[in-house]
Amino acid sequence: MTEKRIYKPKSIAGFPEWLPEERLVEQKWFDHIRRVFESYGFCNIETPSVEELDVLTAKGEVDKEIYVIERLHKDPDEKKEARLALHFDQTVPMARYVAMNFNELVFPFKRYQMQRVWRGERPQMGRMREFYQCDIDIINVDNLPISFDAEVASVMYEVLEGLNIGKIQLRISNRKIISGFIEDWGLPNGTEILRILDKLEKVGEGQTFSDLEKAASYTGAGGAFTPARILLDLAKIKAPTSEEFKKQFSNLHTIPNTPKLQDGINELCSVLDNLSHLPQGAVVADLSIVRGLDYYTGTVYETQLLDVPEFTGSVCSGGRYDDLAGSYINKHLPGVGISIGFSRLFDVMRQTRPDLLGIGPKSPAHVMMVVPENETDRPIAAEAARTLRKNGNNVEMYHAAKKFGDQLKYASKKNIPFVWIVRDGKHEVKDMTAQTQSAADPKTWKFKA
């Protein structure tokens, strides 16, 4: 044995994996998220891990790092194929899927997707290179009711609220409002202004103000004018209800009157009104939220974990877009969607709040069946295990006719909550937490969490 060549494996940076007891909690998270998504009627799709590289880059240069795949051994005579690459998100694959299956789908198409995505980050960045995202989107042909902008937010609030990760705050804005200002004033550096506002929370008011003074200048009827103050005041609006939002908004020094801006206000207020069933403080209109620069056209969302400062940035983000799949099909498909960066959230919680996660059991078993020391009684124990399973219990049969004490030790090492004993035809169940033992009937016994 010592002569054997051993290759000692190392973990690969950016490709996380969990121990069984951690994975058990991760599975519970996925189950919960799926349950909430389905309770709103979202259907699931899965796309392949790869797309043609041309599909991934059809919209133009991609700002995410891409992994391409290649066969290790290529035959010299093989037919040339399209280059394939691992998908870096679930939006591009969904757009391709909707375009390809357009005639088979029922619109509005409400779908959820929970798959791994890959980013070819440089190894030294310490970022995840393979991780799960959980996305919901609603796509329609030509136009999509604004009520869906509230629905996706409501779904994600319910998802996060059920994960036991402390208080959640959904921050919502509408891109049309700030764009309305910028366009009406004819500010030339619109993208730059959005970029500056996006950083407000990070860099603070003073810096933002001076950055805005440089970027935003306006030449109107009355001469040159720099609306840095108004833009900053706008971005500082934080309002839990539509009434409060309207009040704060009307306090702004100057408000252009344009249809786009008015649309944005109406949409934002409608979303807030349709989320009024959520607890106080769960939702806030926050006009500093911008979310990327090109993609979103209306509602935008970010989500803060109020009780987990170790988690920086937004855990769940998204927004409304005008044209999902224009690169692949000649149809106008507006949509609204929101996405949880699942793996980073799980990893931060796993590392900083293992207590909240409930990491413990190393097995899904509810019951460990004791194997009788007398081998002839083994079939009776096996039969009892089968009966218990039929009632929906998870039962691990111990593996050898060892001493009772050894068998108990194994159950407690794995954190299995109950142990079942059949002796002289009598059934007893031992509660490993309470350390009590009592007669029980395998035909009716049912594990309760």
Report, in Å, the least distance between residue 193 CB and a copy of itself. Answer: 27
How far apart CA 381 and CA 191 sit, in angstroms, is 70
Place of tokens 């989107």: 137
**Phi and psi at residue 273, to the nearest 5°:** -65, -40
Q: Which structure tokens are listed for 374? A: 């007398």
Report, in Å, the least distance between residue 86 CB and a copy of itself. Answer: 7
Report, in Å, the least distance between residue 97 CB and a copy of itself. Answer: 7
What length does the chain have? 449
Report, in Å, the least distance between residue 180 CB and a copy of itself. Answer: 24
**Do 76 and 7 contact (CB within 8 A), yes or no?**
no
Measured from the CB atom, the residue of 123 and 313 that comes closer to a copy of itself is 123
Measured from the CB atom, the residue of 129 and 171 that comes closer to a copy of itself is 129
Measured from the CB atom, the residue of 30 and 404 that comes closer to a copy of itself is 30
**Do 355 and 21 contact (CB within 8 A), yes or no?**
no
Furthest-apart CA atoms within the chain: distance in Å: 100
**Do 156 and 340 contact (CB within 8 A), yes or no?**
yes
Measured from the CB atom, the residue of 40 and 404 that comes closer to a copy of itself is 40
**Do 101 and 330 contact (CB within 8 A), yes or no?**
no
DSSP letters, 181-243, are HHHHHT-TTHHHHHHHHHTHHHH-HHHHHHHHHHH--EEETTEEE-THHHHHHHHT-EESSHH
Measured from the CB atom, the residue of 404 and 447 that comes closer to a copy of itself is 447
Report, in Å, the least distance between residue 69 CB and a copy of itself. Answer: 5
Measured from the CB atom, the residue of 10 and 253 that comes closer to a copy of itself is 10
Report, in Å, the least distance between residue 146 CB and a copy of itself. Answer: 10
Measured from the CB atom, the residue of 79 and 426 that comes closer to a copy of itself is 79
Report, in Å, the least distance between residue 81 CB and a copy of itself. Answer: 6
Measured from the CB atom, the residue of 199 and 414 that comes closer to a copy of itself is 414
Report, in Å, the least distance between residue 54 CB and a copy of itself. Answer: 6
How far apart CA 290 and CA 319 sit, in angstroms, is 10
Q: Which residues contact 160 (CB under 8 A, 6 or more apart)?
A: 168, 303, 315, 316, 340
